[in-house]
Each structure stands twice: as C-alpha cells, then as structure tokens.
Amino acid sequence: MAQVKSAIRELIEEAYLVVPEHEKLHTHPTFTCYNLLLQAPDDMLTVVSTCLRACYEANIPPSVGAAPGKSLFQKAYEIYCRKKEDSGSKLSGQDQEHANETKTSQEEKLKSIQSWQETNELLRQMILLLFSKAEEHLTKPK
C-alpha cells in the first residue's frame, strides 16, 4: 500500500510540473493544494487514487467544482491515463483482469458514472477539508 501512496505522490508532483506557470506562484490555491497533498495522510491519498481510477473507468476527467487545484487534478488525470495506456497496469494496484475488462452494458456504464460522481464529490470535500485544517493550524493562537 505504501508503494501506491508513493506512486500517487509522484503523480501529483509530475502533474504540478505541467500546470500553468501562474498557478505555481506561492499565492495561488493550486500551489497550496499541491503542498497540502504532498503532506496529506495516506488515507487522503487513497481518495485521490480511487477518484483517478473512477475517472479513468468512466472516461471522464475529474471535476472538483470550485475547490482549489482543479487544473492539478486535470493534469494528474491526463498523466494517469497516459501511464495506464502505456503500461496497461493500474496505479491503484487493482487486478490486471479488471483493468482489461471493457464496459459494454448500459448498467456498467451507469455504475461507472455513479462511481465517478461519488468519488469526485469525496475528492472535492477532502480538498476543502485540507484547506480548512491548514487555515485552522495557521490561525491557531500560540
């Protein structure tokens, strides 16, 4: 499991390298989101991994709404998809059999989209929680 978390951190770092330059400024929310994710507990990285997998399976990019880091997750998704296509293996460590399955039935497609919606909402809430906790930490009296 630690290997998966390391792979997700590496993916986030790789994605950060290709976000627009103005988003790398220390005052931009994407910069803050990036740094918070690198320091986030492994459980939170599991949310990122699960969301990217659900996005890949639904063939829909992540949507974190108004939460910070939208372009960071878009780039992470693009890199995730490219790596999946290049290697044929999942970053999340899922069975190769499952990775090779094709979603042909309407029911399976609907299930993928529902999973995408649920994991994207969870990701959005996680990002907002990270920012909230960081703000609490910074404003806490000493």
pLDDT digits (tens, 9 = 90+) for 88-109: 654 455 444 444 454 457 888 8
Q: What is the pLDDT of residue 91?
A: 44
Asked if 80 contacts 11 with a C-beta cutoff of 8 angstroms, the reply is yes
Asked if 120 contacts 55 with a C-beta cutoff of 8 angstroms, the reply is yes
- Per-residue pLDDT, averaged over 100-121, amounts to 81
Integer Cα distance of 79 and 73 in angstroms: 10
Q: What is the pLDDT of residue 99?
A: 47
Integer Cα distance of 75 and 19 in angstroms: 7
Candidates 88, 18, 10, 85; CA nearest to 49 is 10
**Burial classification of residue 87, based on how many CB atoms lie within 10 Å of its CB (0-12 exposed, 13-18 middle, 19 or more buried):** exposed
Q: What is the pLDDT of residue 104?
A: 58
pLDDT at 61 over 90: yes
Question: What tokens appear for 63 in the block?
Answer: 């949507």
Against a cut of 0.75, is the pTM above it? Answer: yes
